[in-house]
Amino acid sequence: MYLFNELPTATLKSDHGFEPTAQWADDLRLSSVRFNSGGSGSFISSNGLVLTNHHVASDTLHKLSTPERNLIDDGYLATNQTEELKAPDLELNQLVTIENVTDRVNQAVDSGADAKDAAKQRRAVMATIEKESLEKTGLRSDVVTLFGGAQYHLYCYKKYTDVRLVWAPETAAAFFGGDADNFEYPRYNLDATIMRVYEDGKPAQLKNFLRWSSKPLTGGELVFVSGNPGRTQRIFTTAALKYLRDDRIPYVLDFLRRKEILMQQFGLNGTEETRRARDELFGIQNSRKAYTGMLAGLQNPQTMLAKQASETELLAKVKGNSKLSELAGAWDEIAKVQKAKSEMLKQTVSLRSQLYGIAMELVLLAAENQKDNVDRLREYTDAGRDSLLQELTSTAPVYRDLEQVKLADELARLIELRGAEDELVGKVMAGKGPRDRAAELLAGSKLDLVPERQKLIDGGMDAINSSDDTLIGLAKILQEEYRRIREVNEQLQERERQAYAKITRAVNAVEGAGGYPDATFTLRLAFGVVKGYEEDGKTISPTTNFAGAYDHASSHKGQKDFDLPKSWMDAKSEVNLDAQINFVCTADIIGGNSGSPVVNRDGELVGLIFDGNIQSLTSDYLYTDNQARAVSVSGVGIIEALKSIYHANELAAQVGK
């Protein structure tokens, strides 16, 4: 997960005899895009085509669907540009420049400041740098915290906010095998979707895009992944991993299982309800399975013993070196912060409902607007404003029946977390049970109407103060406590940043610099080779083909999620059954990399990352290439499907050109 401004050229040369040129790296970077909804993608034609995963696009597919037009179940193909469907709130980012601003950030923080002041000073200088950059370049400008706080880089992005759907397969093909096959391998999934970026109402003309390789991959081939891994925690100390194992992940899993059952139950009410809940349910199930795997790894005593042993060795070296010994306290500090985080875990007033989320953002927006830019909460600064407003005015549908169920459950959960006798809970519930109170709150809110939101955005503090919208009222009740909790958590983060900056210094001093920072949902380059693995005494081949897909369906006959869609069954005789469909490689990826292009030495697209195998689920805190593999859709498989199954020859002809 290397930074594009610090590529591992020496390793690539010594281990693989490959020397990427600056041009090679720039082309790849500028052909890569980030989906701000959470995922990666790439430009794949001069006329604006973007490739990503179906499961990255599914948020948009869901928002564009109606009871009559079920894009999730049925897929979509625009036969001409007028049929391309505009996403209601998608923002794509192309990384244009990276600048190291570590010194400027650190100089703005007083060395004697306590965590509260330090966090404030750091937030302020970051807001200033971002605002200056935005004004100067017109680009989206984000200061990114790297190495847990040892470095700060300014990332400038060109934004695309007019993004349209061109082609999506049926979920039965994209998520073939369903939850059962998720994180498994061999796989046979067409987890791909194609969109197009527009500028000024026309397809964007792109200088940088990926050419496609027409050759299937073979074992041993060197490949690269350019994408935005969301988060890793490999710098974490033993104490931090124990916090994950003992507190954080069990808590998150209880939450996810609760929401999984809730969404399932809602779906039982009918086919339309199933459709409405589906996208969220998929996301929850995906997280639940990922966290279950992470926890299993942490619960293996060998994991912690290995981590403890290397930490003990490192600490001994640090303590034994007079130049480093002042850094030794950082491990204790991390341990202390974990304890505090554990105590904060249940202190939350977040209510995960779409409309309540909007209400709280509107209330915070009005209040933050009255402050200087540098004093604002991170997402309300001038540099972030446009993205926030796009989200707040999204025309994505709001389903009141689903909101009712979600809000009632969140109120029940608030009672459980803070206690029924809590004063704030009393104010929130207003003497009613969760179901009745949720119904009352929703009946009194018009926030599903975008013009109502716009009025509150434009009207500022006066409009918020005089609003009789019930959800705005609820957000006003909770605002103060929300801010208090956020403040405490930000101070804990600041203490972690300072401690991990010291640990990074210690590691670099003892083990040498180089390497890469933990993932931060920013663009990174990973590399690896196409390679099978051993599992339970069996050798798993690195590639699969279309014949395997049809076999997999027939050997799971009668099982939900293992039926290929009608388009596939109808086209079986036309499909080249030997064509590659999926493959695995050893590249180091994590959630957020979904949709990343996989390219060969020539920078040609050969695949599309869509998953990791079950052995990769511990990659969050521990990477090995023993069994862990990244799973991709083959580039040649996508073309084969476009031509033979979806009869999208015109689209296929644009790809890579």
Give the pair of three-digit tokens for residue 486: 């956020």
Which CB sits closer to a copy of itself, 184 or 480?
184
- Going residue by residue from 157 to 196, which x/- string records binding to a copy of itself, judged by CB under 8 A? ---------------------xxx----------------
> Which of 69, 136, 218, 270 touches a copy of itself (CB under 8 A)?
270
Q: Does 419 bind a copy of itself (CB under 8 A)?
A: yes
The least CB distance from residue 239 to a copy of itself, in Å, is 12
Which CB sits closer to a copy of itself, 274 or 321?
274
> Which of 66, 79, 300, 325 touches a copy of itself (CB under 8 A)?
300
Binding window for a copy of itself (CB under 8 A); candidates: 386-394, 408-416, 447-455, 630-638 = 408-416
241: DSSP letter: H
Q: Measure the CA–CA gap between 612 and 617, rounded to whole angstroms.
A: 7
Q: Which residue's structure tokens are 């590399």? A: 527
Q: Measure the CA–CA gap between 331 and 334, rounded to whole angstroms.
A: 5
> Which of 8, 283, 297, 542 touches a copy of itself (CB under 8 A)?
297
Which CB sits closer to a copy of itself, 220 or 301?
301
Q: Measure the CA–CA gap between 569 and 68, rounded to whole angstroms.
A: 24
Q: Does 74 bind a copy of itself (CB under 8 A)?
A: no
Give the pair of three-digit tokens for residue 288: 């639940």
Q: Which residue's structure tokens are 């009025």? A: 455
Q: Does 72 bind a copy of itself (CB under 8 A)?
A: no
Q: Which residues in 477-536 contact a copy of itself (CB under 8 A)?
A: none
- Cis (ω within 30 of 0) for the bond into 186? yes
Q: How many residues bind a copy of itself (CB under 8 A)?
A: 46
The least CB distance from residue 357 to a copy of itself, in Å, is 22
Q: Measure the CA–CA gap between 254 and 295, rounded to whole angstroms.
A: 12
Q: What is the largest CA-CA distance in the chain?
A: 73
Q: Are 131 and 143 in contact (CB under 8 A)?
A: no
> Which of 296, 389, 398, 488 touches a copy of itself (CB under 8 A)?
296
Q: Measure the CA–CA gap between 31 and 207, rounded to whole angstroms.
A: 9
Q: Does 375 bind a copy of itself (CB under 8 A)?
A: no
Q: Are 223 and 642 in contact (CB under 8 A)?
A: no
Q: Does 424 bind a copy of itself (CB under 8 A)?
A: no
Binding window for a copy of itself (CB under 8 A); candidates: 46-54, 147-155, 239-247, 507-515 = 239-247
Q: Does 269 bind a copy of itself (CB under 8 A)?
A: yes
Q: Measure the CA–CA gap between 107 and 484, rounded to whole angstroms.
A: 27
Q: Are 37 and 60 in contact (CB under 8 A)?
A: yes
Determine whether 647 is exposed, middle or buried from the number of CB atoms within 10 Å of its CB (0-12, 13-18, 19+). middle
Q: Are 185 and 632 in contact (CB under 8 A)?
A: no
Q: Does 433 bind a copy of itself (CB under 8 A)?
A: yes
Q: Are 319 and 328 in contact (CB under 8 A)?
A: yes
The least CB distance from residue 434 to a copy of itself, in Å, is 6
Measured from the Cβ of residue 540, the count of other Cβ atoms closer than 10 Å reads: 17
Binding window for a copy of itself (CB under 8 A); candidates: 27-35, 144-152, 427-435, 633-641 = 427-435
Q: Measure the CA–CA gap between 166 and 86, rounded to whole angstroms.
A: 9
**What phi and psi, each to the nearest 5 degrees, are found at residue 633?**
-85, 135
> Which of 34, 245, 248, 497 touches a copy of itself (CB under 8 A)?
245
Measured from the Cβ of residue 23, the count of other Cβ atoms closer than 10 Å reads: 9
Which CB sits closer to a copy of itself, 105 or 284?
284
Q: Does 257 bind a copy of itself (CB under 8 A)?
A: yes
Q: Which residues in 532-561 contact a copy of itself (CB under 8 A)?
A: 556, 558-561
Q: Does 271 bind a copy of itself (CB under 8 A)?
A: yes
Q: Which residue's structure tokens are 């009712």? A: 404
Which CB sits closer to a copy of itself, 29 or 418?
418
Q: For binding to a copy of itself (CB under 8 A), which residues are involved?
A: 178-180, 242, 245-246, 250, 253-254, 257-258, 260-261, 265, 268-271, 288, 295-297, 299-304, 412, 415-416, 419-420, 426, 429, 431-436, 556, 558-561
